[in-house]
């Protein structure tokens, strides 16, 4: 058979041993180690840094604040042991105030972001709009994904996807039998189909813009949309427009849903990997309203739009939060908290110029790590209110 560059199935079969390890990434039993071993289990698409590194000086004073959780006061460093933390960085006013590694993670360990990495899609869409490759968030999805013309996606805009308000009928929970589980298995485990492949056949359950429905499938659609809009691979565009100008220090990568030379695409819904300090730089850029490494990377107004909830209701699945552009907003603040399965947090507060990233291996799925997530939020709020010396 002749292999086609457009065919993600045209590559060697994945062994049963590797498939078993890939499934274990989302099962939680061994994710302490698997979260930092992704490039050994999957095809990946690298995001290359440049030669100029955005330096992060440090505060001299220790992290001497405390946070309250479950009726008790905790020293700042308690959050590491209490919430399954592997790596934690707190950056205030552009200087590192706290940096911790646990469980043999190191400064050069590239850690899996899970859904925390969804925020990169919003960042890249903003850059593509600035470049003129995308007109605006009000553009129809079908303009950039013409294969969706004539489907229920007609009338859906980029804004609807960014805010998870497309109205499409999709249950994003991959831990039980169903379409989401099948999509996860076919793309992430066996790599025989694109992650977003089921999207084309979805039907509309609600008018666009009216109902929030979390969907990693739709985030992965954004990856395909970006590739079509900018005319290059997402990893290449991310390197050129974000990783290099923002002064990131290390190579990052996405998992792809097949051999990248044979048509595999980046799974942008939750497979990004990077070192802790580069995640911290990304959070700091957002806390500084798009300013990074001595220059304005993202337009300030775009960051404001990212941090604005798409609706006024408190999201039932995550009380106390709403949702902006591919990131959670925290009610009563201008802060955002991008959250990934297992306790990954990217927090940016423009009001206090605070950036925090916490990479973890908490029990999965979400209901099991909710106590850890609640304690983490208490820590984030306290760290943002603290003034280092």
CA dihedral 257, 358, 305, 248 (to 10 degrees): -70
The answer to whether 88 touches 355, Cβ cutoff 8 Å, is no
Mean pLDDT of 335-361: 96
**Distance in angstroms (rounded) separating the CA atoms of residues 299 and 241:** 13
Question: For position 367, what pLDDT does the model report?
Answer: 61
pLDDT at 366 over 80: no
Neighbouring CB atoms inside 10 A of 57's CB total 9
pLDDT at 118 over 70: yes
The answer to whether 141 touches 161, Cβ cutoff 8 Å, is yes
Question: For position 384, what pLDDT does the model report?
Answer: 96
Question: For position 88, what pLDDT does the model report?
Answer: 98
**Distance in angstroms (rounded) separating the CA atoms of residues 245 and 123:** 13
**3 state DSSP class of 95:** strand
**Distance in angstroms (rounded) separating the CA atoms of residues 170 and 179:** 8
Mean pLDDT of 278-300: 98
The answer to whether 231 touches 133, Cβ cutoff 8 Å, is yes
Return the percentage of the chain with pLDDT > 90, whole number.
Answer: 79
For the stretch 3-58, pLDDT in tens is 334 444 445 689 999 999 999 888 777 888 889 999 999 999 999 999 999 999 99
Question: For position 178, what pLDDT does the model report?
Answer: 85
Mean pLDDT of 244-249: 98
Burial of 316 (0-12, 13-18, 19+ CB in 10 A): exposed
**Distance in angstroms (rounded) separating the CA atoms of residues 152 and 168:** 8
Beta bridge pairs of residue 96: 58, 91
Q: Which of 24-28, 92-96, 178-182, 380-384 has the lowest mean pLDDT?
A: 24-28
Question: For position 286, what pLDDT does the model report?
Answer: 98
Question: For position 11, what pLDDT does the model report?
Answer: 52
Mean pLDDT of 281-305: 98
Question: For position 27, what pLDDT does the model report?
Answer: 78
Question: For position 8, what pLDDT does the model report?
Answer: 44
For the stretch 253-280, pLDDT in tens is 999 997 766 678 999 999 999 999 999 9
Question: For position 30, what pLDDT does the model report?
Answer: 83
Domain 16-385, CATH class in plain words: alpha beta
The answer to whether 184 touches 194, Cβ cutoff 8 Å, is no
For the stretch 194-229, pLDDT in tens is 999 999 999 999 999 999 999 999 999 999 999 999
Burial of 17 (0-12, 13-18, 19+ CB in 10 A): exposed
**Distance in angstroms (rounded) separating the CA atoms of residues 40 and 354:** 34
**Distance in angstroms (rounded) separating the CA atoms of residues 209 and 207:** 6
Mean pLDDT of 108-121: 97
Question: For position 2, what pLDDT does the model report?
Answer: 29
Mean pLDDT of 333-340: 95
**Distance in angstroms (rounded) separating the CA atoms of residues 319 and 58:** 34
**Distance in angstroms (rounded) separating the CA atoms of residues 256 and 250:** 19
Question: For position 4, what pLDDT does the model report?
Answer: 35
Name every residue whose Cβ is closer than 8 Å to that of residue 287 and which is 6 or more positions away in sequence: 91, 348, 349, 350, 353, 354, 355
Question: For position 10, what pLDDT does the model report?
Answer: 45
The mean pLDDT of the chain is: 92
Tokens standing for residue 124? 């890249």
Question: For position 6, what pLDDT does the model report?
Answer: 46
Q: Is 112 left (phi over 0), alpha (psi -120 to 50) or beta?
A: beta
């739009």: which residue's tokens? 305
- The domain ranges of the chain are 16-385
Burial of 150 (0-12, 13-18, 19+ CB in 10 A): exposed
CA dihedral 280, 384, 127, 359 (to 10 degrees): 40
Question: For position 271, what pLDDT does the model report?
Answer: 96
């Amino acid at each position: 058979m002749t292999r086609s560059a457009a065919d993600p199935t045209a590559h060697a079969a994945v062994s049963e041993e590797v498939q078993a390890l890939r499934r274990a990434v989302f099962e939680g039993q061994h994710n302490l180690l698997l979260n930092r071993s992704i490039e050994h289990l999957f095809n990946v698409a690298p995001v290359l840094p440049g030669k100029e590194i955005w330096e992060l000086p440090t505060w001299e004073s220790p992290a001497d604040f405390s946070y309250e959780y479950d009726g008790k006061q905790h020293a700042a460093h308690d959050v590491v042991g209490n919430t399954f933390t592997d790596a934690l960085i707190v950056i205030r006013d552009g200087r590192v105030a706290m940096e911790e590694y646990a469980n043999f993670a190191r400064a050069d360990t590239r850690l899996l972001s899970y859904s925390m990495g969804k925020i990169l899609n919003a960042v890249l869409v903003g850059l593509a709009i600035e470049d003129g490759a995308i007109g605006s968030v009000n553009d129809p999805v079908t303009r950039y994904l013409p294969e969706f013309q004539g489907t229920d996606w007609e009338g859906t805009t980029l804004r609807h996807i960014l805010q998870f308000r497309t109205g499409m009928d999709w249950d994003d929970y991959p831990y039980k039998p169903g379409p989401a589980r099948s999509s996860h298995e076919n793309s992430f485990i066996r790599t025989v189909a694109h992650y977003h492949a089921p999207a084309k056949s979805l039907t509309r359950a609600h008018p666009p813009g009216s109902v929030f429905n979390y969907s990693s499938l739709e985030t992965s659609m954004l990856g395909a949309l970006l590739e079509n809009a900018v005319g290059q691979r997402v990893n290449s565009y991310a390197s050129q427009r974000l990783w290099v100008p923002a002064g990131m220090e290390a190579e990052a990568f996405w998992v792809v849903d097949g051999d990248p030379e044979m048509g595999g695409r980046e799974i942008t819904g939750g497979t990004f990997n990077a070192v802790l300090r580069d995640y911290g730089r990304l959070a700091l850029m957002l806390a500084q309203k798009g300013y990074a490494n001595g220059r304005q990377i993202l337009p300030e107004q775009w960051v404001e739009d990212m941090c604005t909830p798409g609706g006024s209701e408190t999201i039932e699945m995550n009380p106390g939060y709403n949702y902006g552009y591919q990131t959670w907003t925290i009610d009563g603040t201008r802060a955002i908290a991008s959250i990934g399965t297992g306790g990954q947090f990217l927090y940016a507060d423009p009001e206090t110029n605070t950036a925090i990233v916490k990479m973890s291996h908490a029990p999965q799925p979400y209901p099991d790590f909710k106590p850890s997530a609640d304690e983490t939020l208490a820590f984030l709020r306290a760290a943002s209110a603290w003034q280092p010396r």
